[in-house]
Amino acid sequence: MTPTRQDCALAFDSYERHILIELQANARLTNQELAERVNLSPSACWRRVKALEDAGVILRYVAILDPRKVGFGENVFAHITLIRHSATLAREFTDEISKHPEVMECFNTTGDADVLLRVVTPSVSAYDEFLEKTIFRAPGLAQVRSNFALRQVKFETALPIAKP
C-alpha cells in the first residue's frame, strides 16, 4: 500500500478504510484499541497507520474545540473579489491572509468571489477590526462581502469514507 493524496479512495483496502474511519471518530485510540476495532494485530495495525501517515493521507491529529467556549463566538464567511484574475495576485493574497490565525479556512473559488475565507472572531467589532487591519490591506483586494453565521446546523470533520 502506497497511496498518495491524488489516489482515489478505492486504492485503500478494507483495513485501511476501517483504520481511517476509526481514527476520524477518535484519534486518541491507542494502537491496541485501534487494532482490536479493525481486527488486526497491533504490529500490523501500527505499520498500516505509519504508512498512511508517511503517504500524507493522515495529515495530523488534533483536538476539536468548541469555539464559543474559548471566546470565538462569531463565524464569518468572507467572499473576496480580487482586482484581476491572476495566479500571482491570488497567491499573494492567499499567502498574506493565511498568516492570520483568525482565518480558519481559505479557498480559491469559482463564481462571484475569487477567494472564500472562514474567519472566527470574538465579536462583530473584532471582525470589523480584522477587516480594517488585515483584509483591506491585503494585496489585490477589490471587494469583500461578509456573511455572519447565525447558527451552526451541521459540523463534521470526518470525511465520508465508505465502510469496509
Q: What's residue 164's pLDDT?
A: 82
Q: How many structural domains compose the chain? A: 2
Same domain, 100 and 27: no
Q: Which of 123, 126, 122, 128 is nearest to 146 (CA)?
A: 128
Same domain, 20 and 44: yes
- 150 or 8: which leads in pLDDT: 150
Q: Which long-range contacts (CB under 8 A, 24 or more apart) does 87-93 make?
A: 89/139, 89/140, 90/114, 90/115, 90/140, 92/139, 92/140, 93/138, 93/139, 93/140, 93/141
Same domain, 83 and 142: yes
**Are the CB atoms for 17 and 161 separated by under 8 Å?**
yes
CA distances from 94 to 19, 52, 55, 127, 130 (A): 33, 29, 26, 18, 15
Whether residue 62 is contained in a domain is answered as no
Range of the domain at 15: 9-54
Q: What mean pLDDT is predicted for residues 80-109?
A: 96
| Residues counted in the chain | 164
Q: What's residue 63's pLDDT?
A: 95
Same domain, 23 and 84: no
Whether residue 136 is contained in a domain is answered as yes
Q: Which of 157, 133, 164, 139 is nearest to 38 (CA)?
A: 164
Q: What's residue 11's pLDDT?
A: 85
* Alpha-carbon gap, residue 130 to 156, rounded angstroms: 26
Instruction: Give residue-wise pLDDT tens across range 14-37.
Output: 999 999 999 999 999 999 999 999
Whether residue 47 is contained in a domain is answered as yes
Same domain, 20 and 49: yes
Inform me whether the pLDDT recorded for 2 exceeds 50.
Answer: no
Inform me whether the pLDDT recorded for 150 exceeds 70.
Answer: yes
Instruction: Give residue-wise pLDDT tens across range 103-130.
Output: 999 999 999 999 999 999 999 999 999 9
**Chain centre to alpha carbon of residue 82:** 23
CATH code of 107's domain: 3.30.70.920
Question: Model's pTM, two decimal places?
Answer: 0.85
Residue 96 CB contacts under 8 Å (≥ 6 apart), including other chains: 138, 139
CATH code of 23's domain: 1.10.10.10
